[in-house]
């Protein structure tokens, strides 16, 4: 990963300590019953290298917020500042997205899928093939480079998605419930894998999930949102030591944090 | 559970039985040999026609017209369908024209094509294109609707521009549906070309069939019908083979 920096070197960030900053962002929809405030005046910042989770009941606007941070959805009001500049559209060198399941191009092989973002940027075929092979190895899929998605299990497909997200080497990675469609066991394994890769590359991560356990296990901070209007209830720091393991989940601190988030969400409904 | 070789055997048997019944009907006097020659005689004429330079030339002309029309109409039809299906404003403005015109019988336009393009090769190609384009455009519009919005989001998040979205996401994702439309379009295309040949032409298998029909050469007429059928089936099978290749990932 570190080898990919040359052509996409980043301008030094000035005094800005946030990689990503969401400022007074609202997303309103006109409906026959009036204005729906999917996201309502949400502000938060994400410091460099931090793993931040977004949780909340369905309809709290966490996925919409993520789309806006990816530059795929225009905010009705407010700004999203990435590395000091307001976002006006997708900025793949800075922000990468890992989507929910079935986001792989089904007609391309695992390797071609990982190469896809690089191919769009015109990276040389041999170079991107090498990078994809390395990334697939990192997510434990060596030997599966030439398989098509229909020949892979759900967990393997999501590993390819993760490899694709990391392969283009953005500073910020947004993940939209990447493990939602997986079974519990695969979800746990992939969570550990994700942490392992992240420890190695220290991307700034925003991770949307509806699993509180997953949020507490993975994140440095968890932002808890309420639905209609989609607002931030509280930002909770997860001060559990890293590296976290399966045993971490059995500790009293872990239970206490998850419990606190649960009460916040339930109380808002 | 029938194995595929067993199935082919059964199907071949059915065809043989039908041909046998036909043959028997003619020889028992049940059918009139003047209007319905026996299959054995037709088979002899098919072999004879396939050895006739003149017939081969006319078959080649028809194939060339159909092939050229397809090479033009396939990309053009898909491109128009993609634009009409994907581009909101252009789509809303122009889609109705295609839906309305698709329902009009194309054969009534044949005299216009003759007056515009004459009675030669160009007119046949143009009429084949005209016959096929509507079904192709409409199937391409439907194909656009079958493209997963997630894949579009993925490509946009990686910075794909409009051209890259079309070529890297829409076209490959549309292929399984589009290829169905191409098969339909091909049928319309062959129908158009052969029909135009039968109406007025100097060459082509349709022209020969019309001539044999008018001069009561029934065995040749039936042999020509079979040859045209073989040609269409061959074309359809090639497209189906391609479809299976393209469709591999859609499981």
Domain range annotation of chain B: 1-31, 37-249
CA–CA dist B230, B239 (Å, integer): 14
Residue A102: predicted pLDDT: 74
Degrees to nearest 5, angle at CA B176 with B173 and B179: 125
pLDDT 10s digits, A10-60: 333 333 578 899 999 999 989 898 888 889 999 999 999 999 999 998 888
Q: What is the mean pLDDT of residues B101-119?
A: 93
Beta carbons within 10 angstroms of residue A94's beta carbon: 19
CA–CA dist A144, A142 (Å, integer): 6
pLDDT 10s digits, A239-262: 999 888 888 999 999 999 999 999
pLDDT 10s digits, B8-60: 999 999 999 999 999 999 989 888 888 899 999 999 999 999 999 999 999 99
pLDDT 10s digits, A45-100: 999 999 999 999 888 888 899 999 999 999 999 999 998 899 999 998 899 999 88
Q: Over chain A, what is the mean pLDDT?
A: 87
Alpha-carbon distances, residue B136 vs A259, B78, B169, B188 (angstroms):
58, 7, 19, 10
Centroid of chain to Cα B32: 32
CA–CA dist A213, A210 (Å, integer): 9
Residue B70: predicted pLDDT: 96
Beta-bridge partners for B168: none
Q: What is the mean pLDDT of residues B68-81?
A: 96
Give which of B157, B168, B177 to mutate to test A binding, by max A Cβ within 10 Å: B157
Q: Which two tokens stand for residue A204?
A: 């700034």
Closest CA to B227 of B22, B20, B45: B45
Enumerate residues 220 to 239 of chain B having a beta carbon within 8 A of any beta carbon in chain A. Answer: none
Alpha-carbon distances, residue B143 vs A105, B138, B180 (angstroms):
16, 9, 10
Asked if the model's pLDDT at residue A1 lies above 70, the reply is no
Residue A50 and residue A221 in contact, taking contact as beta carbons nearer than 8 Å: yes
- What CATH number has the domain spanning B37-249? 1.10.3720.10
Does the beta-carbon distance from B151 to A105 stay under 8 Å?
yes
Whether residue A243 is preceded by a cis peptide bond, meaning omega within 30 degrees of 0, is yes
Does the beta-carbon distance from B155 to A106 stay under 8 Å?
no
Residue B96 and residue B137 in contact, taking contact as beta carbons nearer than 8 Å: no
Phi, psi of A99 (to 5 degrees): -90, 175
The per-residue DSSP string of A185-233 comes to HHHHHHHHHHHHHHHHH--EEEEE-S-HHHHHHH-SEEEEEETTTTEEE
Does the beta-carbon distance from B159 to A116 stay under 8 Å?
no
Q: How many interface pairs between A and B have CB atoms less than 8 angstroms apart?
A: 60
Length of chain B counted residue by residue: 251
Pairing of strands A172-176, A95-98: parallel
Q: In terms of C-beta density within 10 A (0-12 exposed, 13-18 middle, 19 or more buried), how is residue B116 classed?
A: exposed
Chain B residue at shortest CA distance from A98:
B154
**Which among B154, B164, B250 has the least Cβ separation from residue A103?**
B154
Quote the percentage of chain A above a pLDDT of 70: 93
């Amino acid at each position: 990963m570190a080898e990919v920096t040359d052509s996409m070197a980043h301008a030094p960030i000035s005094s800005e300590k946030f990689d990503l900053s969401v400022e007074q962002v609202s997303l309103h929809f006109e409906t026959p019953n009036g204005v729906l405030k999917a996201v309502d005046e949400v502000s938060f910042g994400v410091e460099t290298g931090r793993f931040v989770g977004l949780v909340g009941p369905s309809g709290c606007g966490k996925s919409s917020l993520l789309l806006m941070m990816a530059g795929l959805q225009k905010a009705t009001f407010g700004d999203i500042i990435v590395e000091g500049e307001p976002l006006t559209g997708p900025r793949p060198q800075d922000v990468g997205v890992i989507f929910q399941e079935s986001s792989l191009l089904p007609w391309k092989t695992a390797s071609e899928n990982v190469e896809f973002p690089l191919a769009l940027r015109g990276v040389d075929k041999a170079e991107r093939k090498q990078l994809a092979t390395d990334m697939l190895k990192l997510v434990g899929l060596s030997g599966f480079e030439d398989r098509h998605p229909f020949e892979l299990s759900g967990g393997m497909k999501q590993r390819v998605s993760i490899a694709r997200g990391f392969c283009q080497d953005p500073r910020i990675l947004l993940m939209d419930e990447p493990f939602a469609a997986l079974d519990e066991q695969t979800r746990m394994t992939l969570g550990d894998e994700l942490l392992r890769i992240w420890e190695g590359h220290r991307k700034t991560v925003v991770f949307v999930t509806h699993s509180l356990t997953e949020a507490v296990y993975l994140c440095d901070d968890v932002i808890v949102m309420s639905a209609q209007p989609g607002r931030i209830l509280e930002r909770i720091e997860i001060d559990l030591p890293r590296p976290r393991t399966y045993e971490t989940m059995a500790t009293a601190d872990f239970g206490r944090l998850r419990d606190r988030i649960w009460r916040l969400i339930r109380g808002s409904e | 559970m029938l194995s595929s070789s067993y199935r082919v055997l059964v199907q071949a048997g059915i065809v043989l039985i039908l041909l046998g019944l036909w043959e028997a009907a003619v020889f028992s006097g049940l059918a009139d040999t003047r209007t319905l020659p026996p299959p054995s005689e037709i088979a002899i004429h098919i072999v004879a026609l396939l050895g006739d330079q003149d017939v081969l030339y006319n078959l080649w002309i028809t194939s060339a017209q159909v092939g050229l029309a397809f090479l033009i109409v396939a990309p053009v039809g898909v491109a128009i369908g993609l634009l009409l299906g994907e581009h909101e404003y252009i789509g809303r403005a122009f889609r109705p024209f295609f839906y309305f015109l698709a329902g009009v019988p194309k054969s009534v336009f044949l005299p216009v094509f003759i007056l515009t393009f004459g009675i030669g090769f160009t007119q046949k190609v143009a009429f084949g294109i005209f016959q096929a384009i509507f079904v192709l455009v409409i199937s391409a519009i439907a194909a656009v609707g079958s493209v997963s919005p997630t894949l579009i989001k993925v490509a946009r998040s990686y910075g794909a521009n409009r051209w890259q979205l079309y070529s890297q996401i829409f076209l490959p994702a549309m292929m399984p549906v589009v290829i169905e439309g191409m098969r339909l379009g091909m049928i319309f295309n062959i129908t158009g070309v052969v029909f135009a040949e039968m109406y007025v032409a100097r060459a082509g298998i349709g022209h020969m069939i019309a001539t044999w029909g008018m001069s009561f050469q029934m065995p040749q007429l039936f042999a020509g019908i079979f040859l045209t059928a073989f040609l269409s089936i061959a074309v359809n099978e090639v497209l189906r083979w391609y479809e299976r290749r393209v469709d591999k990932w859609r499981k």
